[in-house]
Structure 1
Amino acid sequence: MSPLSLDLWWLPRAASLGLLAFVIFGPLGNLLLWAFTEKWYYPHTLPLEYGLSFWSKVFSARGNALESLSNSVLVACLTVLLSLALAVPAGYALARLKLPWRGAILLAFLIPQAFPNLTVYVNIARLFYQIGLNGTILGVVIVHTTHGLVFAVWIATAAFSAVDHELEQAARSIGAGPLRTFFDVTLPLALPGLMASAIFVFLESLDEFTGSYFVGAPDVNMLPLLLYTAGSGGNYQIASITAVLLLIPSIGFMLFVERFLKADVLSRVGH
C-alpha cells in the first residue's frame, strides 16, 4: 500500500465524523436560531432579523411560561422523591437479598414502557377522572412515577450491588446494627448512583408529554404542553424558546451524571 493511500485514509473518517456532528448538532443549531429569530421565511437560508421580543412574550403574564416552568419543576421534584422512596428499599432488597424471581421483578418495572403510551394513558385518565385525580398535580406525579421507577429501581439496584459487601460485614463486626450499617456505610457509598438515578427520573419527568397531556391538561400547565401548543400553532419561536428551557437542565444534569456515575455502577445495571 502506497504512502499516498495511507495519507488519504483520513478523508472517509473525517466525512463520517462531520456527518455525525451535523446530525447531532444541526437540529440544535436550528433550534437556537429560531429561539432568537424575529423574521425568517423561505427562501432565505438564515434569519432576516434577530431579537428577544419573543422571549419577553414567553415570560409575560399571558405567556404561561413561568407557571408551566414552576409546575414542571414541582412535578419533577415530587416524582423524584416518590420514585426514590420506592426505589431505595426495592433496590437494596434486589441487590442484597436472595429473592426468588429477581430477574422477573426487574423486568416488571419495564412493563410501563412495553405498551403504547397513548392507550395506557387514555385509560388512566378515565380512571383518575372517576376518583378525582385528573387535572391535579398529584395525578401527574403518580403517572410520571410509573415511568421514573424504571430508571430509579434499575440504577438503585446497580448502585447497591456495587457496594463492597465486606465493608458492611466489617461495620457489623464492630457492633454496628443493620440500620446504622445501612446509613453510615451502604447509603453513602451508593449515593452517587442514587443521585444519578434521581437526575434520570427528574429529566424523564421534565420531558414527559403524553401522561402530562392526558392526566394534567388543561388544569396543570407543563412546559412540554406549552411546547406542543406553540409548535402545532406554527409559533416556532415560542416553541424553540420552550425547547431551550427544557434543554438547559438536561445538558447540565447529563454532565453531572457523566461525572458521578462510575463504570462499576453502569456495569451492574440489570444484574
Structure 2
Amino acid sequence: MIRHILPAILIGAFAFVIFGPLANLAMWAFAEQWFFPNRLPTEWGFDFWARVFRPRAGAWTSLFQSVAIAVSTVALSIALAIPAGYALARLRLPARSLIMLLFLLPQAFPSLPIFVNIARMFYGMGLNGTILGVVLVHSLPGLVYAVWIATASFAAVDRAMEEAARNLGAGPLTTFRDVTLPQAFPGLVAASIFVFLDSIDEFTGTFFVGTPDVTTLPILMFNASMGGNYQVAAITALILLIPSVGFMLVIERFLKADVLSRIGR
C-alpha cells in the first residue's frame, strides 16, 4: 500500500510545483478584484484584458517588437550557425573542443555583468536604444543553442548519401543544398525555435540595451509588476507562455534522438 501511496504523493507534489504558479497566474489574469485576506478573487472578468490591448496601452507595439526582434535574432543566429556547425561537425579543426566551449561561455557567467558591459560598449557605438542593438545582444545566448544543435545536426547526416550524390556528378554546393541541408533541416528548425523562445523571453539584455526606446513584452510585464498592476503582468506572462508551450511541442517532433545523442560531441 505504501509503495503506491508514496509515488502518488511525489507526483502530486511535482504537479503542484509546476502547475501551482500557473494556476495562480491564470487567476490573476481574470481577477477583477482580489484583496487580502481573500484566498480567491472576489470578482472575475475580462476588463483588464481590454485595457491591455487598448491601442494606447502599448501591448500590441510591444508584441510586434518582441516578435520582430526574435525573428531577426533567429535569422542572424542561424546564418552564423550553419557554416559554424558544418565546420565543427565535418572539418578537423584544431582546438575544436575549445571552440565549442567558447560558445558556452556566455551561459557560464551571470548574465547581469555581461549585459551591463555590453550596454557600455554599445553606448559608445550608438547601438543603445536600437532594434539592432537588442538583436545583437539577444544573439549572444542564441548562438549557444544554434551552434551546438547545428553541429549535432550536421554530424548526424548520413555521409553515404552525400558520397552517392558526389559519385553521380553533383558538386559540393549542390550536394550540400540537396542532400546535407535537407537532412539537417529538422535540427536547424529545433535550433531556430530555441533561439526564438530565448529571444522573446529575454529581459535583462533588453532592459540594459534597449530601454526606454525598445519595449518588448518582458519589459512591459516588468513595468506592470513594479507598478502593482498584477493583472496586466499576469496577462502579459500568459501571452509569453503560449508560444513557449506550442513551440516546445514542435521541438519534440523535430529534435530526434540521433541528433540529441551527438550534442556536445
TM-score between both structures, scaled by the size of structure 2: 0.98
Give 1:62 shift. Answer: 2.4
1:61 Cα deviation from its structure 2 partner: 2.1
Partner of 2:39: 45
Give 2:244's aligned residue. Answer: 250
* Residue number in structure 2 paired with 1:91: 85
The answer to whether the aligner puts 1:151 opposite 2:133 as a matched pair is no
1:67 aligns with 2:61: yes
Matched, 1:267 2:261: yes
Q: Distance in 2 between matches of 1:61 and 1:118?
A: 33
Moved over 3 A (4+): none
Query: Distance in 1 between the 2:152 and 2:189 partners?
Result: 12
AA paired with 2:83?
A: P
| CA-CA distance at 1:112 after TM superposition | 1.2
Matched, 1:193 2:183: no
CA distance in 1 between partners of 2:29 and 2:167 (Å): 60
Identity rate, percent: 63
SS at match of 2:55: coil
Query: What amino acid sits opposite 2:196 in the alignment?
Result: F
Compute the displacement of 1:127 (Å).
1.6
CA shift, 1:119, in A, is 1.4
Query: Which residue matches 1:3?
Result: none
Which of 222, 230, 235 matches 1:228? Answer: 222
Alignment of 1:136-215 (within 5 A): 136-215=130-209
Q: How many residues align?
A: 265
Gaps of at least 5 residues in structure 1 are: 1-6
Which of the residues 116, 119, 126 maps onto 1:132? 126
Give the TM-score normalised by structure 1.
0.96
1:4-46 deviation per Cα after TM superposition (whole angstroms, max 9, x unaligned): xxx4410000000000000011111111111111011112111
Structure 2 spans left out of the alignment, 5+ residues: none
Secondary structure class of the residue paired with 2:212: coil
Tell me how far 1:166 sits from its aligned partner.
Answer: 1.2
Q: CA RMSD in A?
A: 0.8
Match of 2:3 in 1: 9
Distance 1:259 1:126 in 2: 41
Task: Please state whether the residue corresponding to 1:269 is helix, strand or coil.
Answer: coil
1:240 and 2:234 correspond: yes
Amino acid at match of 1:117: S
Deviations 1:183-209 (A, max 9, x none): 100000110000000000000000111
Q: In structure 1, what is the equivalent of residue 70 of structure 2?
A: 76
Paired residue type of 1:262: K
Q: What secondary structure sits across from 1:46 in the alignment?
A: coil
One-letter identity of the residue aligned with 2:97: G
Shift of 1:63: 1.3
Q: Deviations over 1:52-96 (max 9, x none)?
A: 110111111221110110000000000000000000000001111
Q: What SS does the corresponding residue of 1:38 show, helix, strand or coil?
A: strand
Range 198-207 or range 160-169, more displaced = 160-169
